[in-house]
Each structure stands twice: as structure tokens, then as C-alpha cells.
Structure 1
Amino acid sequence: MRPEEFQKAVGDLTQAATSTHPSVALAVPHVEQWLKLGAMTTTGKPCFLFDFQSSSHPNLQLLRSLNMTSIGTGYDLANSIFSPDGRNFQVEYAVKAVENGGTSVGIRCKDGVVLAVEKVVTSKLLKPGANKRIATIDRHLGAVYSGMIPDGHHFVDRARDEARAWRETFKTPISTSDLASRMGGYLQAYTLYQSVRPFGITAIVGGFDSELEAPVDGEVGSGPSIGAGGKVEGKHGGPGLYMIEPSGMYWGYYGAATGKGRQAAKAELEKLDLAAGNLDLMQGVKEAARIIYVAQDDNKDKEFELEMSWISNADGPTKGRHVHVPKEILEEAERYAKKAISDDDDDDDEEKKDEDKMEE
């Protein structure tokens, strides 16, 4: 390193340290010694190539945090810090964790809700059907999630606590929208404090709320025994589907998808025109299976297991309860999905042959 480069590096590092953390000035006399140890990058900008991670000196701890600012310009070091352009990097990193998880799908049908998830088989020693990723929150509510599985387990436990507390307080089952609201607030609380980190999951919550009118005078306990305990006059009951993100934001959906294959899954959901309300529960099971297979098509080399659940009204196949799809119906849905994928591949091959003939 030429003398003029060395002096410039000393000045740059000193200025950066003192301007970012004024209390780090006590450590500045050591800058020249550090630079002599080779603390220069290939671009000529100063950095720390030596090992001071184990030091407990307060000034070196500040320099350690200064050295980490290259990741998120320093604003990703704590959960409770916003960057100047209004971003919360820790929440964005949590979203990245979700995007690495298996694909989850929720479909709101005219007579119920279907939940499905792609479970990648990481070992041949895993027992088929075990390691459930879809959980029952209350008898009329279910949830599926993508991302970090332990975070999902905690989410489910907390959601069950919320549903139980609602029953104890109001003497009636919690509605899908109220559960989404409470869990959204819970996840949002984990973005406010430095002592915690955001949840690394996005959850899809589905349920079937009572379609019967409840008295407006606040009477409780008189609602139906199945489903959320009666709706307020003028409010909509029936199936409900919500997706809750790591930030705590939640939205109501006709169809929702998250995880690694979310883009392909969303494209397929949009083709179903779910807002028209023409898709029944049995068709929804088949379409959910097909969408999971389409979303997994980019990772054909990875073996996976399909898990599905559904919720119907009191007159439907589940009698208003959230249960896993029976084995025979699940197998039929998988056969339908595989056939649909095979037919699409055949159509693509024929189109390619026609294009080749036209080019010739």
C-alpha cells in the first residue's frame, strides 16, 4: 500500500467511526495498527479483516456493529429500527424465510374452505402422514403456514389460546376474522422490540362462521353449537379465509398462497374466478391439489407429501368442523392433479412440435 493510500484509509476509517458512533473515538489511535494488518478491500475502501469478534471492549463492540452496516446499512441490527426510506429489514428477512418454505394454499369455496400444503420429504426415514403442518385452532377453524416450522408451532399454540380465551369470555366460538385480527396483532408485537425477532412464517387461517343471525342486544351463549356463535344482523357469515404475514398485516382472501411456489400458485388461483362463488368444496379439494402440484413442478427432483384439510357448513361433509381430508378423497384429488399436469405437458409438447414444423 502506497503511503498516500495508507493515510487516506486512516482518514476514511477514522471519519466513518467517529461520525457514526462518536463514542468510538477512544479506539481511533489503533486505526493505523489495524490497517497495517491488511484492513483494505480490493476496492480500496477500509474494512476489518482481523478477528476482534471475541473482544468485550465497549469501543470494539461499537466498531463491530459499524463493520456490520454493509448488510443493511446498519438498520438491520435491531428489530425496532426503521431505515430512512421506511423499511424494517428484519421483517423483510422474515419474509425471505417464508419464501424458502413449502407452498401453502387456501381456497374459499361457496360452501367451505380448503387448506393444502406441500411438505418436502427431507429423509426416507420420515413416517408418511406424520409431522402435520395443518392444525386445528378451534373445532370450526384451521391454519396452515409456510416458513420456519417451530415458529408455526408457536403460532398455532397462541391461536388456540386466543380461541379458548374468546370462548371463556364471550361464551361463543371466535369468528375467523376476529382470530385473524388477534393473531395479526400478536405477530406485529414481535416487530416492535429489540429483544425478540419477527415470526418467520406466513399463516393462512380458514374457518366457517355461523350463517344464523344472533341477537343484537349482546346475548351470548345462545348461538349454534357448530361454527362461530352467530353473526350480527347484516354481517356476513359462512366461509372465511385470511392470510397473516410476518409484519402482522392480514387480509381476507378468496384464494391465498405463500411459500416457495406462491407465484405459480397465485396464477392458478386467479384462473378459478373464486369471487364468482361457483366452486364447491369437492372441486376445491381437487383444485388445491392441482395447484400444489403445479407450484411444485419447478422442483420435480424433490419428493413431497400433500397434506389437506377442509371445513364445510353444518350440512356439509365435515358438519361444520375442521378436519383433514379423508384418505380416499385425498388420493382421488392427487390422481386428478397428476393427470392435469400430464395433460398440460402433452399440450406443451404438441405446441412445440407445431412451432418446429412452422420454422422448417
Structure 2
Amino acid sequence: MTSIGTGYDLSNSVFSPDGRNFQVEYAAKAVENGGTAVGIRCRDGVVLAVEKLVQSKLLVPGSNKRIGTVDRHMGIACAGLIPDARHFISRARTEASSWRKNYHTPIPVSSLSDRMGLYAQAYTLYSSVRPFGVTSIIGGMDEEHGPTLWMVEPSGVGWGYYGAATGRGRQAAKAELEKLDLPNISVEEGVKHAARVILIAHGDNSNKDKDFELEMTWVRAADPAAAAGQTEGPVKAMGKHEPVPKELVEEAERQAREDVKGDEEDEKMEG
């Protein structure tokens, strides 16, 4: 079968003869054109990091956020079309608020992922709408399961991860994440690893000559021992989703640049 739409890509409610939905595939391509987003599930929390390409020297540093807070214990990092991401995060906040109103507890990360997956999938069913051009990494703390990380794709499918990457540099980022002992690192270590992964992913894509900002947030357990499963019972103090302190991000980025530069010099010597 042909790999181009040939008329079957005019509506996302129509399958091609070989069972493909081209509108969903186009949405996935839109995600690949965005900056890299990374999520790391640690033993005592979750780290979310995003590569924000600086398109103009006139931009105010820190503006145009790619990571949003959904509930006190949870955040979402997005790659792809930013307006789509803002609407997606807004809907996630509505779902979290509805869950609190009905059940009087914070919504579990897996439940929010299921709900947002269904919402994204609904936008692949009708010709009057288009799929979301965004992949979202949802990370937070659950009372029962502790640190939890999920990723929802434009098709609506969602998976639980120890380490997730999406966006332009996802392949290089995944390769670096697979080298880490993710279940056993702390969030402080996760910040350093996330900075390194984003830097390597940035250097591996076509925009490596452009400057970028590193946006990073975390959710740390107020009781790290409970989050790591070293105590019995649920994690009562789930922690708060908040930006990683600026000085810690700058130190992690500086160390990552030194490490990457050292690795490149070693490769040149070996070559």
C-alpha cells in the first residue's frame, strides 16, 4: 500500500485501505517538530524537563511555559503545538477538579491519564475536529503507588513509564534514559540526569545551533522513605508540583555541559 494519503487524509474519521489514520500520523509529526520533553520517575518523586527553543532574542526568558500544574501533586510536560498543549492542560485541570469534587481525594495519575487518553481519542473520531498535535508526559505522586509517570500520545494511547521522552530529540533522549537505574535514583539526581538528557537530545537534532531554555519541575515526596516503599501504608504527604529551584537547574545544566564536552573530547581522542 502507498505511504501517502491519496485522499484518505482529508478526514480523521476515515481509514486508508491498509488501516491507517493519516490525520493521527500527521499529529505525531507535529509533535516531532517541537522541543524535547522528558519525564523521569525516581524513588522519591518525579522530574519533568522540557527543551524550549529560543526563536527570538526579543523573547522574555521564562515565558511561554511548556509545563503546567494540574493539581497540587501533579504536573504535565508537553511537546508539540503549544496552543493544543494549553487546552489539554486546561482540560486535565477540569478532570482533576471534578474528581476532587466527586470523591474528595486527589486524582491518581493513572486515572487522569485514562481520562485524558479518552479525551484525546475522541478528537480522532469526527471529521469536524482534528487530533491534538501534542504528546503529554503526566507525572506526580499517588497516595497508594507513590511516584507515577504516564505519557499520552495524540492517538489517545497512554502508557506508564519509568522514563519517558517525546519531541524532536526523543530517540537520543530514550537512549540516554535506558542507561539509568531509574527506580533507584533520587529526585536531586534526576534533575542532573534530566539536564544531561535534554542537552544530548538538543545536540542530536537539526536545531542544535539554536539557543534553548531548560524548563524543569519536580514533585518530591515529603516522606522519601514512604515513597521508596521503605515504610508500610500509603504515602500520606504526597509533595507539591513546583519549579526546580533556579540555582539547582543552572548547576545541573553547567555540569551537563561539562560532562557532554568531556565525552566529546574522549571520543575525538579515541578516534
Question: Normalised by the size of structure 2, how large is the TM-score?
Answer: 0.92
Query: 8 Å contact 2:142–2:238 — kept in the other structure?
Result: no
2:203 maps to which residue?
297
Find the partner of 2:15 among 71, 82, 86.
82
Letter in 1 for 2:223: D
Tell me: higher relative CO, structure 1 or 2? Use CA pairs within 8 A at least 6 residues apart.
Answer: 2
1:119 matched to 2:52: yes
Q: CA deviation at 1:345?
A: 0.9
2:191 maps to which residue?
285
Q: CA deviation at 1:135?
A: 0.5
Find the partner of 2:250 among 331, 340, 360.
331
CA distance in 2, matches of 1:278, 1:314: 17
SS in 2 for 1:302: coil
2:227 maps to which residue?
none
Kindly provide the CA deviation profile for residues 119-147 of structure 1, in whole angstroms up to 9, marking residues without a partner as x: 00001111111211110000000001100
Kindly provide the CA deviation profile for residues 17-47 of structure 1, in whole angstroms up to 9, marking residues without a partner as x: xxxxxxxxxxxxxxxxxxxxxxxxxxxxxxx
CA distance in 2, matches of 1:73, 1:161: 39
Q: Which has the higher helix share?
A: 1
Q: CA deviation at 1:308?
A: 0.2
Find the partner of 1:254 among 131, 156, 162.
162
Q: Identical aligned pairs, as a percentage?
A: 66
Find the partner of 2:219 among 308, 311, 316.
311
1:242 maps to which residue?
150
Moved >2 Å (runs of 4+) = none
CA distance in 1, matches of 2:216, 2:87: 20
CA distance in 2, matches of 1:121, 1:335: 18
1:344 maps to which residue?
263
1:181 maps to which residue?
114
CA distance in 1, matches of 2:64, 2:83: 12
Question: In the comparison of the two structures, how many residue pairs are matched?
Answer: 256
CA distance in 2, matches of 1:196, 1:148: 15
Letter in 1 for 2:250: E
Letter in 1 for 2:89: V
SS in 2 for 1:271: coil
Aligned CA RMSD, in angstroms, stands at 1.5
SS in 1 for 2:55: coil
* Equivalent residues in 2 for 1:220-235, closer than 5 Å: 231=144
CA distance in 2, matches of 1:200, 1:282: 32
Question: Normalised by the size of structure 1, how large is the TM-score?
Answer: 0.69
Unmatched segments (≥5 aa) in structure 2: 225-236
SS in 2 for 1:251: strand
CA distance in 1, matches of 2:69, 2:17: 41
SS in 1 for 2:77: strand
Q: CA deviation at 1:71?
A: 4.9
